[in-house]
Amino acid sequence: MILARRAFFVTALSAGPLLAGALAAIALGAAACGGPAKPAESPNEPSQSADGGASADGGAAPAPEVDAGAPAATSAAAADAEAAPAALSPLAAVLVTDASEVQKIFDAASGAPLATLKSDGAAGKDPIAAGIRADAKKEAPGMQPDGPMGTGKLKEKGHLQMSVTLLPGKCYALLGFAPKAKDLDLYLLTPPGILAGQDTTDDNKPVVGKAPDTMCPAATRAVTYTVDIFADKGGGDVGVQLYSKDK
C-alpha cells in the first residue's frame, strides 16, 4: 500500500504542479475513506422490513390475511352443489312431464291452505287413519309412520299442501286416503317447480313410492318436499301419511 502511494505521488509530480495537486487530493480522500464510497440507496428501491418483506413505501404489499371462515363456506357450498342434482332427480313415477303443467301444479300447491297435522299420525281410530293403516300393509310393507299425518277437507278440484323431509339412508312411501272422494291425487314437489313423484291411480287411496318401488333418496343431505293434495273428483275429509324404513 505504501509503495503504491509513493508511485502515485511520483506520477503526480511528473505530470505538473496543477495536475499533481488534483491527483494528490483524490489520493488522500481515497486513503481516508479506505476505498470508494458506497453509492447512496436509490429512493425507488424498497427497504426491507424486519420480517423480510418489502415495506409499503415502494415494494410489494404484504400477503393478504386469509379468512379463517372461507373453508367452511366453501365446504357448505360444495355440499349444496352435491345435494342439488340428487334433489332434482325423480324419486318415484312421474306422469306429468310438461314443464308448464308441472309449474301450474306447484303454484297451486304453494297457494293452497296448509293441511292440519296430527301428531299421532296413522295411529288414530278415525276412518281415515284406519284406511291408511290398512293400505300401508300392502303398499308399504315393513315401513312405519314417519312424522305427523296431514288432514283436512277438500272440495272437488281443491288443493291442500304439507311438507315432508326425506333423509339419506332411508326409503319412503307417501299414502293418502279420502273415503268420500272418487279420485285423490298426490304430487311430491320441490322449488321452483320440479315434480319428484306422483301417484299413478285414479282412486281415493293414492300412493307415491309404493312397494317395491319405494322412494330412496340419493341426496347426501335432508331434502324437504312440498306435497300437493288434490281432489280431482269428489271431495270430503282427506289424510296423508309418510312411511319410512332404513335402507
- pLDDT of 216 higher than 70: yes
- Say if residue 130 is in the same domain as residue 242: yes
- Say if residue 21 is in the same domain as residue 94: no
- Say if residue 139 is in the same domain as residue 216: yes
Name residue, grid cell 488522500. Answer: 28
- Say if residue 99 is in the same domain as residue 208: yes
- Say if residue 25 is in the same domain as residue 96: no
- Say if residue 214 is in the same domain as residue 135: yes
Residue 62 forms part of a structural domain:
no
pLDDT in tens, 166-190: 999 999 999 999 999 999 999 999 9
- pLDDT of 218 higher than 50: yes
pLDDT (0 to 100) of residue 105: 97
pTM above 0.85, yes or no: no
**Section 9-28 average pLDDT:** 40
pLDDT in tens, 77-113: 444 444 555 556 899 999 999 999 999 999 999 999 9
Residue 76 forms part of a structural domain:
no
- Say if residue 17 is in the same domain as residue 88: no
Three-state SS string across the chain, please? CHHHHHHHHHHHHHCCHHHHHHHHHHHHHHHHHCCCCCCCCCCCCCCECCCCCECCCCCCCCCCCCCCCHHHHHHHHHHHHHHHHHHHCCCCCCCCCCHHHHHHHHHHHHCCCECEEECCHHHCCCHHHHHHHHHHHHHCCCCEECCCEEEEEECCCCEEEEEEEECCCEEEEEEEECCCCCEEEEEEEECCCEEEEECCCCCCCCEECCCCCCECCCCCCCEEEEEEEEEEECCEEEEEEEEEEEC
Residue 56 forms part of a structural domain:
no
The pLDDT > 90 percentage for the chain reads 62
- Say if residue 11 is in the same domain as residue 93: no
- CB neighbour burial string for 14-51, b if at least 16 within 10 angstroms, e if fewer: eeeeeebeebeeeeeeeeeeeeeeeeeeeeeeeeeeee
CA angle 101, 105, 110 (to 5 degrees): 145
- Say if residue 24 is in the same domain as residue 109: no
Averaged pLDDT score across all residues of the chain: 78
- Say if residue 141 is in the same domain as residue 21: no
pLDDT (0 to 100) of residue 88: 67
Give the domain extent around 23: 2-32
**Section 161-165 average pLDDT:** 98
Domain count, the chain: 2
CATH number, residue 151: 2.60.120.380
Question: What values do phi and psi take at 105, rounded to 5?
Answer: -65, -45
- Say if residue 96 is in the same domain as residue 17: no
Residue 37 forms part of a structural domain:
no
pLDDT (0 to 100) of residue 5: 45
Q: How far apart are CA 128 and CA 15, in angstroms?
A: 128
- Say if residue 98 is in the same domain as residue 218: yes
- pLDDT of 49 higher than 70: no
Band (pLDDT 50/70/90 cuts) for residue 120 is confident
